[in-house]
Amino acid sequence: MTGRRPGDSGTREAILAAAKEGFGTQGYAATSLRSVARAAGVDPSLVTHYFGGKDGLFEAALELPMEPGALVTGLLQGAVGTLGERVVRTFLLVWDSTPGQGPMLAMLRSAVSHDDSAAKLRELLLRVLLRPLALGAGGDDPDRRAALVASQVVGLAMTRYVLKLEPIASAHPDQLAPVMGKTLQRYLTGPL
């Protein structure tokens, strides 16, 4: 019998596993579709078939626990006066619950030295997450507010996950959210 065997071949999963490893160890810029295909033992056209390209592959490898739009909607469902605290708590819970934090951590590290990675992180943070959040909070100048919030969450990620600066690195989200949430709250709803 020739041809594709019936059922799931595991090809998509093998590609995704190779992508997670590549993005996690080499970063976004240094990981190519060809290198992922080679590591997965498949033809590069299959990577494109399953994921559409490098951006789609990267987004799948990030393994966000929920769709970003749903995350923003969920954050905006509570009282606007406690939004900053919810943002910090949710940010930490998402990062802490991502196994190994590989691709997300690689994107953060890569953004420091690679323009492509910085653009990808900017896109995810500002356009997809923080600008919609700032708009939903109802304040004026949502672009400025989103950038201010980004300064805090990226700083928190660098401090906690890259530099591993104590006591921030080991602090429970319930310890950090009330303190940092006040600053984010001001950025989201307070006077600028």
| CA-based nearest residue to 137, from 147, 145, 126 | 145
The CATH architecture annotation of domain 66-189 reads Orthogonal Bundle (1.10)
Q: How much is the pLDDT for 3?
A: 36
Per domain, the residue ranges of the chain are 11-61, 66-189
Tokens 């923003």: give the residue.
72
Structure tokens at 79: 């009282």
70-79 — which CB contacts under 8 Å span 24+ positions? 71/129, 72/129, 72/132, 72/133, 72/136, 75/133, 75/136, 76/133, 76/136, 76/137
Tokens representing 66? 């929920």
* Nearest Cα residue to 116 out of 47, 34, 40, 58: 58
pLDDT at 38: 95
Query: Nearest 5°: CA angle at 181, between 175 and 183?
Result: 125
Segment-wise mean pLDDT, segments of 10 residues, the chain, 192 residues: 48 89 77 93 92 84 72 92 96 78 70 76 84 94 96 93 93 96 97 92
- The pLDDT value recorded for residue 2 is 38
pTM, two decimals, is 0.75
Q: Find, among 83, 97, 60, 95, the residue nearest to 130 by Cα.
A: 83
The domain made up of 11-61 has a fold known as Arc Repressor Mutant, subunit A (1.10.10)
Contacts by 11-18, CB closer than 8 A, 24 or more apart: 11/40, 11/42, 11/46, 11/50, 12/50, 14/40, 14/41, 14/42, 15/40, 15/42, 15/46, 15/47, 15/50, 15/51, 15/57, 16/57, 16/60, 16/61
Single-letter amino acid code for the residue at 17? A
Looking at residue 183, its pLDDT comes to 97
What pLDDT is attached to residue 7?
A: 40
